[in-house]
Chain A
Amino acid sequence: MRQIIRRRDIVEDELRYPGEPSTAGSVDVHSASEWIAAAVAGSAPGPGAVLLTATDEAEALAEHLAPLRWIVIDFAKIGEGRGYSQARLLRQRYHYARELRARGAIKRDQLFFLARCGFDAFDLDPAEDLIAALGALGTFSVAYQGGSDTLVQVRRRLPDAAA
């Protein structure tokens, strides 16, 4: 059973990514195009989970967010960075408030930035030590920029525009 970090806990994952077999109680994750097509046809299954790849546009989901309980953003390669902007858009512009998960080629070294961009769940590289990774949420206690933090707390000198 896959373990993930959800907020500040290590939990067993109920999601099944595209291509993975379903089990009792598991939730299938849909590709963005599948989800949008079903939503447009009025047949979107709930509770919904969607996988965004780096080339999917967050905007395309904007009108179909309400039934979604999980959005998973895929980081296919080391150094992939588009997901950080996708997360910021989903949280800040489209006010998506449920689970936003990062998955793929990510380790504890990216965790702090991911959390600051609004991710609150992490399916890390299988080789990563999840206990150590949880500690990485406290890598920095200060920051210069605004964020979509719910997981990490930082001291800042300047408030956000909206604050």
Chain B
Amino acid sequence: MYRYDQIDQTLVEERVAQFRDQTRRFLAGTLSEDEFRPLRLRNGLYIQRFAPMLRVSIPYGLLSSRQLRMLGSIARRYDRGFGHFTTRQNIQYNWPELEQVPDILADLATVQMHAIQTSGNCIRNITSDHLAGVAPDEIVDPRPYCEIIRQWATLHPEFSYLPRKFKIAVTASAHDRAASEVHDVGVHLKRGADGALGYEILAGGGLGRTPIIGQVIRDYLPQAELLGYLEAILRVYNRHGRRDNIHKARIKILVRALGVQEFRRQVEEEFEANREVAPQLPAAEVARMRAFFEPPAYERLDDIPETSGPGARTASLAPYQAWYRYNTRAHRVSGYRIVFVSLKKHGAAPGDITAAQMEALADLADRYSFGMLRATHDQNLVLADVPQRVLGELWQALEGLELATPNIGTLTDMICCPGLDFCSLANAGSIPIAKQIHARFDDLDYLYDLGPIEIKMSGCMNACGHHHIGHIGILGVDKHGKEWYQITIGGSAAAPAALGEVIGPSVPKEAVADTIAKLLDVYIEERQDEHERFLDTVRRIGVEPFQERVYETDHSPA
């Protein structure tokens, strides 16, 4: 992983000192709430329903065991003993004291972490593929490019007061695991006609109350020109993005208003005009960054067929097999396997993890996966480089920590925002709905029969839970002070990204799981075979059969 040098370390320490002074001035009354708000947000600090919420940046989701131990220690010392992994590969603490936040940031700086630009109208954490570096289908490791963009974006003097937040995702695989098409900018590593590395650039995607799929604005950009091109996009946006209406201030609205052709023309014109002074990305810098992301020292191992693996000897077979099948994935190096750590246990809020779990998991990462972990967009964690011969031991350890629920990719591997339980923006609860769905669909055999289904849930139209791109999306709405839920189906984060279609009027809180059960009944009846996913069935037959089933009783005369 990237390791800070003196410049990086000095920068985070100076940022801590700056924020400590800003907090002191706010508490002393010399900064008003209106003045302090944009300053604290730029450092990930929200004032929520009950307490401040601090969002800590995990650049492109990559964590060392040492960093995870510190996150656990922070949860223990400054919070109520847990943290919450988000849909953008970050972690949030829901109960810190404002006065202690500078100390938390100082602790984070000791392990090369920070909360810079995790909120506010600026360039946010760069996200990427959680399988970067181990994915069998990637053309190059995207993480060096993520780190290059992270540094360029960090405390950028020109782009720190944008019209609205700005999210960049970088991928290098045919299979998009980073939802890059619904980001303000998507950067896709690709090879040009001559085989040279470069990028396809998308712009104008986003979720929120106006979900839009991003469009390609540059088919191929040479490797060295990445930062100059991003600078051109940001400058056009910073100057011409709307600032009069917070709901129309994202770049997607600008791209839509101008039309993609005109937006592209303006970006290209700015790019050309700025060429002489634009930041360059020399090949030597790319090489320097790549060196930080070299593969770990893999042993020469042979693949072990699953049934003859150690799990079969040391553990009761069926649960281990289920875990192996659902929570592990093929690795591109023989003898290794990718392990997902499920943060979707029944009864817990999706993405929640305790301090004790973090500390134990850090130890497991040291013992079994080169001391590294990744946070995923689906609010789980990944141990990416596990020798197959230790899978049985690892499974037992994860079972003991309640981190082995064999449900990755299934219906109960839901993602959800903090919702009404924590967030002051929310219209409705998300976590109670997650629990309702968990309780209703607790039969693993049924879940496995359903195959891969992504449920994504947001407590309001700001869409932190990405409901638009869930195979099943659930959006909390407020109706006369009561919590109701609008259901969409057919959304997808993976290419081709798609926005779900609303099936009809929203349903009351107590009917959400029943409604989903009806959708699933239609799927089971209509699917061509067990290999046709829920999403594919929706795409093939459309939403009508689902609508008819859900609302059939509504058609009876009143």
Contacts and interface: CB of A to CB of B under 8 A. Distances in A.
Interface string B216-259: 00000000000010000001001100010000000000000000
A23 interface: no
Contacts of B15: 140
A157 B282 CA distance: 12
B10 A141 contact: yes
Contacts of B160: 81, 84, 113
Q: Ordered nearest first, which 6 A-B pairs have the shortest CB separation?
A: A81-B161, A116-B157, A113-B157, A144-B151, A161-B280, A84-B158
A28 to B, nearest CB: 27
A127 B35 CA distance: 12
Given A144-B7, A144-B152, 14 more contacts: A78-B34, A85-B239, A88-B235, A92-B277, A107-B31, A109-B35, A110-B161, A113-B157, A113-B160, A143-B157, A145-B155, A147-B157, A158-B279, A162-B277
Nearest to A116: B157
B528 interface: no
What's the dominant secondary structure at chain A's contact region?
Answer: loop
Contacts of B137: none
Which label, helix, strand, loop or mixed, suits the secondary structure of the B interface? loop
13 contacts: A78-B38, A113-B157, A113-B158, A114-B157, A139-B18, A141-B14, A143-B11, A145-B152, A145-B155, A145-B156, A145-B158, A146-B277, A158-B279
Instruction: Tell me which of A82, A86, A160, A162 has the highest count of chain B C-beta atoms within 10 A of its own C-beta.
Output: A82
Interface residues of B, number: 42
A84 B243 contact: no
A140 B280 contact: no
A2 interface: no
A65 interface: no
A142 interface: yes
B392 to A, nearest CB: 45
B412 interface: no
A79 B14 contact: no
Interface of B: 5, 7, 10-11, 14-15, 18, 22, 30-31, 34-35, 38-39, 121, 151-152, 154-163, 228, 235, 238-239, 243, 273-280, 282, 285
A103 B435 CA distance: 52
Contact of B277 (A107, A110, A141, A161): A161
Given A82-B238, A84-B158, A146 B279 contact: yes
Interface string A133-163: 0000001111111110000000111101110
Given A80-B161, A145-B157, A160 B11 contact: no
A160 B277 contact: yes
Contact of B276 (A82, A109, A114, A162): A162
Contacts of A147: 157
A140 B239 contact: no
B157 A160 contact: no
Contact of A79 (B121, B235, B239, B273): B121
Given A85-B238, A140-B155, A144-B152, A158 B285 contact: yes
Nearest to A107: B35
B162 A140 contact: no
A9 B160 CA distance: 26
B243 A80 contact: yes
A27 B201 CA distance: 48
A84 B39 contact: no
Interface string A102-144: 0000010110111011000000000100000000000111111
B121 to A, nearest CB: 7
A16 B22 CA distance: 32
A54 to B, nearest CB: 8
Contacts of A78: 34-35, 38
A81 B239 CA distance: 8
B157 A84 contact: yes
Nearest to A114: B157
A136 to B, nearest CB: 8
A146 B280 CA distance: 10
A110 B42 CA distance: 12
Contacts of B243: 54, 80, 82
